[in-house]
Amino acid sequence: MTKKPDPLETAESIGRAVRNRERSAVEVARVFVERAERSAPRLSTYLHRDGARTLEMAAEVDRRLESGEKLSPLAGVPIALKDNLCTHGIPTTCGSRILEGYLPPYDAHVVERLRAAGAVFTGKTNCDEFAMGSSTENSAYFPTRNPWDLDRVPGGSSGGSAATVAALEASLALGSDTGGSVRQPAAFCGVFGLKPTYGAVSRYGLVAFASSLDQIGPFARTARDVALLFNEICGRDERDMTSRSDATPIDLESLERGVRGMKIGIPRDLLSVGVDPEITASLDRVTKKLSGEGAEILDVTLPHARYSIATYYLIAPAEASSNLARYDGVRYGFRAKSDDLQTMYASTRGKGFGREVRRRILLGTYALSAGYYDAYYLRAMKVRTLVRRDFDQALLRADAILLPTTPTPPFKLGEKVDDPLAMYLNDIFSIPASLAGAPALSFPSGRTRSNLPIGLQLVGRPFDEGTLLRIARTWEKKSGDPLGVPPIANGGART
């Protein structure tokens, strides 16, 4: 008789137990399906969830193992997918009305890899429309709530993925990160979130927002679980010419080597204004702990990082305006009724896209228009190069850079939704690494006095995700579980 799975256990231990036949994948899946049935309607984490399909996937994993097939460490592990990752025959809407009812005829590369590995999908998670937002309030369907406080946002745009891992509705999840959309919700929900190096993970089947910035990344409750999921999805894919063979799996045992002899840089010039004192205090605690473990803490400078938000909000909308031109009501998705072709185009895009997406399309189209290209887009690309050089120089001296993931703890639902600039400023610490194409990891570092999660961020050299996870793993071991489990995962909820 197999032992009933404990959903608090790690993805690593769940996968090991399933492969060793100590537990069936169906038993594991049932625990997570039942948990999601209780909490997902209150949190609004999923746009599409099918418990029967999840159990069917789990049963197939059990059959494959019974036949003697060797599966990956993720065999039988429940994983949630952000709704901008194409899934064959399963709705993929990107949180937008313009793709309502769309059923992709193929799987994204990462979805293919996880199917082959024996992972079990729990559903498609809610997100800001076309990944444009920092709160998951821009979803065309409903906002997602933070598992730690239902009156607060989970971050965005991958808020559904972060919240579902925090609430133990899935063991792992995938999101996408363009300017912080994995790291910021990871910080707000108290989980780990990795933006891999640009090119480390194939973007084939990821619905495009800004193609030179988008990257798929994992959410997990432990550093080792992040590595497990990254290992399964990283590497070269011939269908994505930006993917790189430099991305190689991480040796999990290397994460246990500690930080003695490492150099960790702090960009104190970025932290002088606008950072919540409790986040600053958390940064000081982590720095002190890592120093006590043998790391050398030094100051580094990122002089052009202060221009990152302005730079990002020229480059990303410009690329979005091009990528989203394909949604015209002709081939798939929503189509407005009209007898005139031009009116149909305009009405489809006006009604199908939400306010924030329309705003960014307009910004991007303006930046690319004749007479403004050199003044805005081209100049932004030059500043982007300077930001990348700043990181290159700083990382010649340091093995990683440590800074806050966000300037504040999770804010309340509705607090910033009508103030785009205030919302954009929430990404002030996450955007620089995105512009540089560098790997960046958000990890939970504690809680505020109001019991809200705090996340800190590590940025590293290209294709050196292992170093970031090693540092975070050292903190994780020394601090124990710095966060615990939100009340809703135990049947309660803070309101």
Say which of 139, 157, 321, 434 is annotated catalytic: 157
Contact 148, 452 (CB under 8 A): yes
From the candidate CATH numbers 3.40.50.360, 3.90.1300.10, 3.30.70.20, 3.40.50.620, the one assigned to the domain spanning 11-303+388-490: 3.90.1300.10
Q: What local confidence, expressed as pLDDT, does residue 491 receive?
A: 64
Which value, in Å, is the radius of gyration of the alpha carbons in the chain?
21
Cβ distance 420 to 359 under 8 Å? yes
- From first CA to last CA, the distance across the chain in angstroms is 40
Q: What are the domain boundaries of the chain? A: 11-303+388-490
| Residue found under tokens 């409903």 | 142
pLDDT tens digits, residue range 169-191? 999 999 999 999 999 999 999 99
**Mean pLDDT throughout 94-100?**
96
State how far the Cα of 14 lies from the Cα of 3, in Å rounded to an integer.
11
pLDDT at position 207, please?
98
Mean pLDDT of 268-280: 92
In this prediction the pTM is 0.96
Catalytic entry in 82, 124, 195, 416: 82
Read off φ and ψ for residue 314, nearest 5 degrees. Answer: -105, -45
Q: Cα–Cα distance between 176 and 213 in angstroms, integer?
A: 10
What token pair was written down for 129?
Answer: 């429309």
Annotated catalytic, 157? Answer: yes
pLDDT digits (tens, 9 = 90+) for 191-231: 999 999 999 999 999 999 999 999 999 999 999 999 999 99
How many Å apart are CA 100 and CA 139, to the nearest integer?
12
Q: For 326, which DSSP code?
A: G
More confident: 394 or 345: 394
Beta strands in 94-189 (DSSP E): 120-125, 172-177
Give Cβ neighbours of residue 464 (< 8 Å, ≥ 6 apart).
197, 439
Q: Are 117 and 60 in contact (CB under 8 A)?
A: no
Output the CA angle 234-203-330, nearest 5 degrees. 160
288 belongs to the catalytic site:
no
DSSP string, 280-292: HHHHHHHHHHHHH
Tell which residue, 436, 437, 438, 443, has the closest CA to residue 470: 443
Residues composing the chain: 495
Which tens digit of pLDDT belongs to each residue from 316-327?
999 999 999 999
* Upstream peptide bond of 442 is cis (omega within 30 degrees of 0): no
Band of pLDDT at residue 482, cut at 50, 70 and 90: low
Cα angle 308, 301, 462 (rounded to 5 degrees) comes to 70
Count the Cβ atoms, other than its own, within 10 Å of residue 56: 13
Q: Looking at 13, 181, 243, 442, which residue is catalytic?
A: 181
Reference 184, options 402, 355, 359, 408; nearest CA is 408
For residue 143, give the nearest of 326, 413, 371, 398 by alpha carbon.
413
- 2-46 residue pLDDT tens: 555 566 689 999 999 999 999 999 999 999 999 999 999 999 999
Distance CA 59, CA 24 (A): 8
Question: What average pLDDT is seen over the chain?
Answer: 95
370 pLDDT tier (thresholds 50, 70, 90): confident
In the chain, how many H helices and how many E strands?
15, 11
> How many C-beta atoms lie closer than 10 Å to residue 260's C-beta?
10
Listed in sequence order, the residues at least 6 apart from 5 whose beta carbon sits closer than 8 Å to its beta carbon are 14, 17, 23, 27, 28, 31
